[in-house]
């Protein structure tokens, strides 16, 4: 089974609580507070697994929760940090917001992405000792880890996509030009999932990756047949090889087949339809190359401006010429598409929960609270100037500053956001 679209739930670990403890040792008077800090919660990290090409592993496991941080201990001992949960996904997996389908991150390159950050550990009571408060009997609790739902959508990474009707020989061609071993049989929809193959050029030029896409039929872009589910896998392809059965072994016209597939590609995506294409006329070993059907097909290819390569996956005829031509054409084309994030840094920090904020005043201190702020606080380094600027931008964008002014705050008043305090300056 091939799985290429699935929604999962991920949650980072909560931070550990700070400890309330006092140093006690013989002959040491007034040892003072020595409660250690809580450990950081584990992160949720996505990592590319180059050996995988399906999301099948997520069919039965869709919930991923990282470990919480350990609580602080006496003698200033820091709690254990929670272990990260590393989620392996195939190259080309898009992480999307399930609410609106926007891209969060494209796992196309060999790198990692931290989707949810673990909560920061709370401070132990040693941090709260002052000359006037020498016996603090309280500590700070750990912060909650981030949590969200993420839609995983696989768009395979291939330079070349082989498209066409079922049983025209796409899998056979792929098996001849690469080391791929797709299932091949003489019936429709033998290929139930895209197959990838690396085409090596030796010393003749740069190799490339080809993908055999399951056969399309008329109406595929509207959901008919099997191929419609896999059209997304040619989105990244830099060029297409449109394979036709030039011999018409199933009683169909190669020209009509080509016209129908062209119509499906155009209906699915005009940009994809305009991608560079070669026609691959397969099964020349059993075709009448001087017949009227072949001449009609050549006229159609000429009218649409596409070069035709006559090949036979059975005998290997014309395949070397095809591979050389594809390699040469790819050298002229841009690199494979990498999708940019459609979610801003500020939106990622806030999370997908509704932005609901409450402000209450106690004397000259304004307390700001909201579940989304817990996510934000985990991502801010309050000792870093740029991180503080980011924090301020998020507060302004989400209406916190306006809300404080509506409540009557003045310059110099104190703002408290989950124990982080600062003087209001506007």
What pLDDT, on a 0 to 100 scale, did the predictor assign at position 26? 76
Place of tokens 């005829």: 317
* DSSP calls for 151-193: EEEE----SEEEE-STTSSHHHHHHHHSS------SSTT---S
What pLDDT, on a 0 to 100 scale, did the predictor assign at position 344? 75
Place of tokens 């939106």: 347
CATH number for the domain including 380? 3.30.300.350
Enumerate residues 6+ apart whose C-beta is below 8 A from 42: 12, 13, 66, 67, 68, 69, 81, 82, 83, 84, 85, 118, 145
Structure tokens at 71: 């609580």
* Rounded Cα gap, residues 240 and 242, in angstroms: 6
Number of structural domains the chain divides into: 3
Residue 61 lies in a domain: yes
What pLDDT, on a 0 to 100 scale, did the predictor assign at position 133? 83
Q: Are residues 272 and 387 in the same domain?
A: no
What pLDDT, on a 0 to 100 scale, did the predictor assign at position 203? 60
- Residues 150 and 44: beta-carbon distance below 8 Å: no
- Residues 41 and 68: beta-carbon distance below 8 Å: yes
Sheet holding 420-423, edge to edge: 358-362, 365-369, 414-417, 420-423
- What stretches of 206-258 adopt beta strand conformation (E)? 208-212, 239-245
What pLDDT, on a 0 to 100 scale, did the predictor assign at position 378? 74
CATH number for the domain including 186? 3.40.50.300
What pLDDT, on a 0 to 100 scale, did the predictor assign at position 341? 84
* CA nearest neighbour of 87 among 41, 120, 52, 121: 52
Residue 400 DSSP one-character state? H
Residue 98 lies in a domain: yes
* Rounded Cα gap, residues 71 and 256, in angstroms: 70
CA gyration radius, the chain = 30
Query: In this structure, which long-range contacts are made by residues 93-96, counting pairs with CB atoms below 8 Å and at least 24 apart in sequence?
Result: 93/46, 93/48, 93/55, 93/152, 93/153, 93/154, 93/155, 94/152, 94/153, 94/154, 94/155, 94/339, 95/46, 95/150, 95/151, 95/152, 96/150, 96/151, 96/152, 96/153
Distance, CA of 12 to chain centre: 17
Residue 128 lies in a domain: yes
Q: Are residues 19 and 112 in the same domain?
A: yes
358's enclosing H/E stretch is: strand 358-362
Query: Other CB atoms closer than 10 Å to residue 354's CB: what's the count?
Result: 9
Q: Are residues 109 and 199 in the same domain?
A: no
Residue 338 lies in a domain: no
Query: Of the residues 330, 354, 380, which one is the last residue of a structural domain?
Result: 330
What pLDDT, on a 0 to 100 scale, did the predictor assign at position 36? 93
What pLDDT, on a 0 to 100 scale, did the predictor assign at position 181? 67
Q: pLDDT by residue for the chain (426 residues), tens digit each? A: 456 789 999 999 999 999 999 988 777 667 789 999 999 999 999 999 987 878 888 988 999 999 999 999 999 999 999 999 999 998 889 999 998 889 999 998 768 999 999 998 998 999 888 888 888 888 888 888 888 999 999 887 889 989 888 888 888 899 888 876 655 445 444 444 677 788 887 665 578 888 887 755 554 444 444 445 567 777 888 999 999 999 988 888 999 999 988 988 888 788 888 999 999 999 999 888 888 999 999 999 999 999 999 999 999 999 999 999 999 999 999 888 888 888 877 777 776 666 789 999 988 899 998 888 877 887 787 778 888 888 888 888 888 989 999 988 888 889 998 878 888 886
What pLDDT, on a 0 to 100 scale, did the predictor assign at position 271? 86
Place of tokens 């008043």: 413
Residue 335 lies in a domain: no
Bridge partners for 422 per DSSP = 415
- Is residue 100 classed as helix, strand or coil in its secondary structure? coil
* Rounded Cα gap, residues 32 and 20, in angstroms: 11
Q: Are residues 147 and 274 in the same domain?
A: no
* Rounded Cα gap, residues 294 and 369, in angstroms: 72
- Residues 142 and 38: beta-carbon distance below 8 Å: yes
Place of tokens 């926007």: 102
Q: Are residues 165 and 134 in the same domain?
A: no
Q: Are residues 171 and 106 in the same domain?
A: no
Burial bucket for residue 237 (CB in 10 Å: 0-12, 13-18, 19+): buried
Pairing of β 112-116 and β 44-48 = antiparallel
What pLDDT, on a 0 to 100 scale, did the predictor assign at position 53? 76
Q: Are residues 19 and 33 in the same domain?
A: yes
First-residue to last-residue Cα distance in the chain: 58
Question: Can you give the pTM of this predicted structure?
Answer: 0.74
Sheet holding 93-96, edge to edge: 63-65, 5-11, 147-154, 93-96, 103-107
Query: Other CB atoms closer than 10 Å to residue 321's CB: what's the count?
Result: 12
* Rounded Cα gap, residues 394 and 202, in angstroms: 53
What pLDDT, on a 0 to 100 scale, did the predictor assign at position 318? 94
Query: Of the residues 140, 155, 170, which one is the last residue of a structural domain?
Result: 155
Query: Of the residues 125, 155, 185, which one is the last residue of a structural domain?
Result: 155
- Is residue 254 classed as helix, strand or coil in its secondary structure? helix
Place of tokens 């408060």: 133
Residue 321 belongs to domain spanning: 160-330
Q: Are residues 188 and 135 in the same domain?
A: no
């Amino acid at each position: 089974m091939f799985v290429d679209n699935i929604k999962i739930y991920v949650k980072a670990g909560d931070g550990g609580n700070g400890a309330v403890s006092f140093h006690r040792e013989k002959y040491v008077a007034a040892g003072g507070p020595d409660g250690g800090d809580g450990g950081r919660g584990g992160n949720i990290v996505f990592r590319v697994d180059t050996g995988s090409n399906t999301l099948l592993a997520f069919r039965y496991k869709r919930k991923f929760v990282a470990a919480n941080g350990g609580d602080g201990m006496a003698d200033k001992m820091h709690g254990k940090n929670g272990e990260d949960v590393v989620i392996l996904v195939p190259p080309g997996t898009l992480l999307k917001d399930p609410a609106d389908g926007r891209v969060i991150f494209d796992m196309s390159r060999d790198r990692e992405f931290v989707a949810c950050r673990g909560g920061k550990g709370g401070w132990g009571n040693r941090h709260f000792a002052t000359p006037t408060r020498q016996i603090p009997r309280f500590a700070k609790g750990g912060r909650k880890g981030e949590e969200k739902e993420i839609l995983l959508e696989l768009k395979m990474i291939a330079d070349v996509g082989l498209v066409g009707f079922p049983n025209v020989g796409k899998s056979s061609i792929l098996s001849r030009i690469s080391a791929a071993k797709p299932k091949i049989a003489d019936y429709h929809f033998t290929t139930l999932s895209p197959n990838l193959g690396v085409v090596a050029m030796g010393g003749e030029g740069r190799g490339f990756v080809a993908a055999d896409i399951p056969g399309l039929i008329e109406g595929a872009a509207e959901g008919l047949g099997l191929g419609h589910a896999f059209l997304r896998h040619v989105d990244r392809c830099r060029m297409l090889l449109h394979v036709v059965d030039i011999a018409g072994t199933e009683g169909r016209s190669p020209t009509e087949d080509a016209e129908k597939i062209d119509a499906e590609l155009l209906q699915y995506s005009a940009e994809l339809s305009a991608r560079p294409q070669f026609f691959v006329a397969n099964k020349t070993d059993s075709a009448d190359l001087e017949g009227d059907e072949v001449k009609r097909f050549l006229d159609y290819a000429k009218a649409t401006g596409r070069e035709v390569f006559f090949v036979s996956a059975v005998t290997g005829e014309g395949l070397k010429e095809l591979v050389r031509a594809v390699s040469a054409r790819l050298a002229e084309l841009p690199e494979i598409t990498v999708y940019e994030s459609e979610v801003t840094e500020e939106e990622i920090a806030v999370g997908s929960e509704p932005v609901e904020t409450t402000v209450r005043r106690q004397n000259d201190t304004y307390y700001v609270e909201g579940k989304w702020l817990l996510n934000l606080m985990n991502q801010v380094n309050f000792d870093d100037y740029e991180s503080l600027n980011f924090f301020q931008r998020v507060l302004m964008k989400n209406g916190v500053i306006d809300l404080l002014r509506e409540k009557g705050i003045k310059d110099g008043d104190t703002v408290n956001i989950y124990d982080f305090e600062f003087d209001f300056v506007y």
